[in-house]
Amino acid sequence: KAGVTQTPRYLIKTRGQQVTLSCSPISGHRSVSWYQQTPGQGLQFLFEYFSETQRNKGNFPGRFSGRQFSNSRSEMNVSTLELGDSALYLCASSLRIISGANVLTFGAGSRLTVL
């Protein structure tokens, strides 16, 4: 079956612009989580969506937002970009079975560079 697909893979933006990243989960997976990875901070949890509802949110400013569609595809948006937003943004999907283990399948990531 197809894996988790993230688009675009690479993008360059300038400060003040906004960006939208897309994630298509594995078929049947209803949970999509987003992480920001930077060399200094490791993987930081952004948010998780399950059945079109935000289930959890990490400690990021309101400039970071996301949504999930009825087909489980998810998008995240970062507005008013700052230099510090340069990072690898990783999306992961899972079945999120209640009372079961939540094993994540990651996409290859979207590498954002802010100039």
Partner 1 sequence: SQQGEEDPQALSIQEGENATMNCSYKTSINNLQWYRQNSGRGLVHLILIRSNEREKHSGRLRVTLDTSKKSSSLLITASRAADTASYFCATDGDNDMRFGAGTRLTVKP
* Burial track 92-110 (b if 16+ CB lie within 10 A, e otherwise): bbbbbeeeeeeebeebebb
Measured from the CB atom, is 58 or 75 closer to partner 1?
A: 58
Percent helix, strand and coil across the chain, each rounded to 5?
5, 50, 45
- Cβ proximity to partner 1: between 20 and 105 the closer is 105
Q: Which is nearer to partner 1, 15 or 57 (CB)?
A: 57
Query: What residues line the site for partner 1 (CB under 8 A)?
Result: 4, 33, 35, 41-45, 48, 55-56, 58-59, 88, 90, 92, 101-109, 111
- Give min distance, CB of 17 to partner 1, in A: 23
d(CA 49, CA 52): 6
Nearest-approach distance from CB 56 to partner 1, in angstroms: 4
User: Residue 55 Cβ, how far from partner 1 at the closest point, in Å?
Assistant: 8
Minimum distance from CB of 26 to partner 1 (Å)? 12
Q: Which is nearer to partner 1, 39 or 62 (CB)?
A: 39
**∠63-68-69 over CA atoms, to 5°?**
135
Beta carbons within 8 Å of 71's beta carbon, 6+ residues apart: none
